[in-house]
Chain A
Amino acid sequence: MPDLSINFAGIKSPNPFWLASAPPTNSGYQIMKAFDAGWGGAVWKTLGVPVVNVSSRYGGLNYRDKRLIGFNNIELISDRPLADNLREIEEVKKRFPNHAVIASLMVQTRQEWHDIVRQSQDAGADGFELNFGCPHGMCERGMGSAVGQEPKILQMIVEWVMEVATKPVIVKLTPNISDITEPAMAARRGGADAISLINTIQSIVGVDLDQFAPYPIVDGKGSNGGYCGPAVKPIALNMVKNCAQHPDIKLPISGIGGIENWRDAVEHILLGASSVQVCTAAMHFGFGIIREMTSGLEQYMVEKGFNTIYDMVGKALPNVLHWEDLNMKYKVTANINEDKCIGCQLCYTACEDGAHQAIRLNAGTRVPEIIEENCVGCNLCSLVCPVEQCITMERTDDGTQHLTWKERTEAGTAPTEFNDEKAGGRHHWVPEPSAALGKERHKTLPGKARLYSGETVLPAEAE
């Protein structure tokens, strides 16, 4: 059995799965339940001067019948008195000495930071997470993302914390910034032991079409909130990668953002995270999801022969290059597996309208055909195809050549003028514009759809 335990900047945990600082970690009751279910650690709901929340706090982004692919909140930090939280931290640590309990903190003055750090470590917290990320409510008061967006202030606060902290300090970063490595560097300069990212993304999750107000609606009004859940994973992964690849940051990373199953967790880890945190998924499905996460992670590690989490941390990083270093001689071409094709023709219309007119329909069959010489290998058709492994992208270059944009630029073979002969699309066939309304018209709306949507004349080719 692989060893799932981690030692994250000095914080030990039986597995890399932590609950992120959020409603699931609001109380000792919830955290004990979570540990009992199998979670390795929990970052306590952010402590500070207790807040008062509004009623109606969350909004969801649904995709067709799938609920909460994105999630949005306008909640603030803990609304419970500090003493209650500290007493419960102590109780949890007593009952679960080997699990990681991390106190998330957010206060204003140096004195407040000193006080809250001391009190939390006295209560038995294994470490701290400084919340410089909350994008609503707190930043207006000069906390949360207001700090995360100001590297200098961030560094100063980290320094204040380091003056008294005897336990590892994690700085939680806000994604609401153009270069995530700047606050990460500031954290490092301040002496932090680790970083965690991402906090929520400033957002409006939707607008009520009848009340003309953004969700969630509070007495007819709304406010921008913080966005998280499965939809934010790609943004989180990129930021985790940026921090992990930065030559000077070199801090352990706790990956957060859109993690719902073992796969999401592994992706974060392969890009450099060595612990992962989960909020939305636990809010959606409860603590029980941890069973699938650990079992999936274990199975994956067995299959790959990884003995510890550290065998895989950052394993994908060497393969994340700058665009200009990618091999331009590599070529893939779409290939339709006729036996699997169900004839939905989504690939056809996608390539026709959204790509490179490289798929044709033939009479007598619903299986489309790839026009190889037009296919640029963009993947679109294979992404829209609803059948598993039906459209595959096959390598068509011989694999012997390697040439990057950078090399082309250096060799002077990259296009530099508006009408350059060397333009990539220069020799690619494109139909005449007017054909769209003429002989190719049936390619947009097929005959019958046109006919029954009011047009009585059959388009040229349909009859």
Chain B
Amino acid sequence: MAEFFTPTTEQEFAENFAQLKPVMNRTEALYESSRCLFCFDAPCIKACPSGIDIPQFIRQINSGNDTGAARTIYEANYFGNACGKVCPTEVLCEGACVYNLQEVKPIEIGRLQSYATTKVIKSGEKLFGPGADNGKKVAVIGAGPAGISAACELRALGYTVDVFEAKAQPSGLTVYGVAPYKITNEETLAEMDYLQAQFGYNTHFNSPINSREELAELENKYDAIFLGIGLGKTNELGLPGEDKINCTGAVEFIAELRQHHHEVAVGRKVIVLGGGNTAMDAASESSRLGAETVILAYRRAKEEMGAYEFEYDLAKGVGVKGLFNVAPIEITGNGYVAGVKFIRTETKDGKVLEIAGSEFVEPCDMVIKATGQAKQTEFLGLISGLKLDGKGRIIANAHTGQTSNPKYFASGDAWNGGAEVVNAAAEAKLTARGIHAYLSK
């Protein structure tokens, strides 16, 4: 029944994970940009968390000023290319496009956006540069969308910026988390190279900041510290058998997949636990890796899933089967995963109730837990005076990003609790201005 054969080469992998939003050519961009109505006070702009002036850049594409279009995009969002490809545009700009109200296909804003940015990235054209050196230094922890966006904006404002990243590559979850059919590693990293060439911040890879000593050193050397650390590992479920071989966290599984492509092995029958977007991604990805059966198991009813509808449709479209109102109670098997023991549930007044005596075992040879990412509370606990909210999110001023330790600023998943690339990029730009305001006092 498998929809996909197990890919064994890079080319087969690319076919199974074909881009959902392939880059447009000039003809398609001309056609699509011609459809835009150039609305007044356009609703698409308002729906974009980074507030890109969409009709402006579409008009620029339409009149043959692709470079100007890229500038418009990057002025609002340093992850302009990545966002065009990975944003859930269905619920953001494209979802707000006035065409929807006429039951006409909305403008493909995301693809137009990547069209323009891809072009300048390829040409390497210089659109931006660092501002005049103001003699101040900022350390950025984490080279994800938040960290890199903050670095760009701070450079533009004249700061010396050092980015410390635990991993070997920049862009955070854009290259370690987002589904491979949304963006390729090459595309992601090309944008990172482009930005670094434009702004000239310093990057230090494989350089996790883990200890109080390292933090103290940063506090001494830098005028401000930006936290763009995102979230942590997949939450533990606390179920018996969770440590069995082939029971893995979605974030960890996807990170492997993004780095090792077809070399990542997937089970023949995979059960994905969860109902959020990451669960949908992990299920789709398992299927595209050649799993024969992929079951998406969720504690509540289908309608209650946190995932966007189009993400569920995408998973369904590659053969993923839904199993709803079931809660896992044990991972079974002898060393290796052999199945998941579930109990059926029902939802009453918003509460999930287990139905006694309804236990059953669904056999499988792989379990992927997509049950949310843990917060990095341990690390954040090393920063004196830094306050977190009840959910482990950093508390910071929404306009300036300043935390309860005035030297520290935060944006992105670590602050918002887990959103999208575009939110991290938009927040970090604002926070960089917050840092500037603080250091200019």
Tell me, yes or no, whether B417 is within 8 Å of chain A by CB.
Answer: no
Chain B CB count within 10 A is highest, among A65, A341, A348, for A65
A-B CB contacts (within 8 Å), total count: 60
Question: Interface segment, B98-106, B225-233, B367-375?
Answer: B98-106
CB within 8 Å for A345 and B31 given contacts A449-B56, A452-B51: no
Q: Are A344 and B39 in contact (CB under 8 A)?
A: yes
Instruction: Provide the residues of chain B in CB contact with A366, threshold 8 Å.
Output: 43, 98
CA separation between A185 and B99, bound complex, in Å? 52
Selected contact of B99 from candidates A341, A342, A449, CB within 8 Å:
A342
Instruction: Provide the residues of chain A in CB contact with B75, threshold 8 Å.
Output: 452-454
Tell me, yes or no, whether B268 is within 8 Å of chain A by CB.
Answer: no
Selected contact of A64 from candidates B41, B53, B56, B62, CB within 8 Å:
B62
Q: Are A449 and B45 in contact (CB under 8 A)?
A: yes
Q: Are B30 and A446 in contact (CB under 8 A)?
A: no
CB within 8 Å for A65 and B30 given contacts A448-B46, A448-B51, A452-B52: yes
Q: Are A344 and B40 in contact (CB under 8 A)?
A: yes
Tell me, yes or no, whether A349 is within 8 Å of chain B by CB.
Answer: yes
Smallest CB separation, A441 vs chain B (Å): 13
Give the nearest-CB partner of A451 in chain B. B51
Give the nearest-CB partner of B56 in chain A. A449
Q: Which residues of A are at the interface with B, using a C-beta cutoff of 8 A?
A: 64-66, 341-346, 348-349, 361, 366, 386-387, 446-449, 451-454
Selected contact of B53 from candidates A66, A346, A449, CB within 8 Å:
A449
Q: Which residues of B are at the interface with A, using a C-beta cutoff of 8 A?
A: 30-31, 33-34, 37-43, 45-46, 51-53, 56, 62, 75-76, 98-99, 101-102
- What 9 pairs between A and B have smallest CB-CB spacing? A446-B41, A345-B40, A64-B34, A65-B34, A342-B101, A349-B40, A344-B39, A342-B98, A344-B98
CA separation between A65 and B41, bound complex, in Å? 24
Q: Are A448 and B34 in contact (CB under 8 A)?
A: no
CA separation between A386 and B101, bound complex, in Å? 12
Instruction: Provide the residues of chain B in CB contact with A349, threshold 8 Å.
Output: 40
Q: Are A386 and B30 in contact (CB under 8 A)?
A: no
CA separation between A237 and B76, bound complex, in Å? 48
Q: Are A387 and B51 in contact (CB under 8 A)?
A: no
Q: Are A387 and B102 in contact (CB under 8 A)?
A: yes
Q: Are A345 and B51 in contact (CB under 8 A)?
A: no
Instruction: Provide the residues of chain A in CB contact with B33, threshold 8 Å.
Output: 64-65
Give the nearest-CB partner of B41 in chain A. A446
A-B contact pairs, 17 of them (CB 8 A): A64-B33, A64-B62, A65-B30, A65-B33, A341-B101, A342-B98, A342-B99, A342-B101, A344-B40, A345-B39, A346-B39, A361-B41, A446-B41, A446-B42, A449-B53, A452-B76, A454-B75
Q: Are B51 and A446 in contact (CB under 8 A)?
A: no
CB within 8 Å for A342 and B45 given contacts A65-B30, A448-B51: no
Q: Are B37 and A453 in contact (CB under 8 A)?
A: no
Instruction: Provide the residues of chain A in CB contact with B98, threshold 8 Å.
Output: 342-344, 366
CA separation between A387 and B33, bound complex, in Å? 18
CA separation between A279 and B40, bound complex, in Å? 39
CA separation between A361 and B43, bound complex, in Å? 14
CA separation between A301 and B41, bound complex, in Å? 45
Give the nearest-CB partner of B46 in chain A. A448
Q: Are B37 and A346 in contact (CB under 8 A)?
A: yes
Instruction: Provide the residues of chain B in CB contact with A344, threshold 8 Å.
Output: 37, 39-40, 98
Instruction: Provide the residues of chain A in CB contact with B53, threshold 8 Å.
Output: 448-449, 452-453
CA separation between A366 and B38, bound complex, in Å? 15
Instruction: Provide the residues of chain A in CB contact with B31, threshold 8 Å.
Output: 65
Smallest CB separation, B368 vs chain A (Å): 40
CB within 8 Å for A448 and B45 given contacts A65-B30, A65-B31, A453-B53: yes
Chain A CB count within 10 A is highest, among B34, B46, B98, for B98
Give the nearest-CB partner of A64 in chain B. B34
Smallest CB separation, A348 vs chain B (Å): 6
Instruction: Provide the residues of chain A in CB contact with B46, threshold 8 Å.
Output: 448
Q: Are B52 and A386 in contact (CB under 8 A)?
A: no
Instruction: Provide the residues of chain A in CB contact with B41, threshold 8 Å.
Output: 345, 361, 446-449
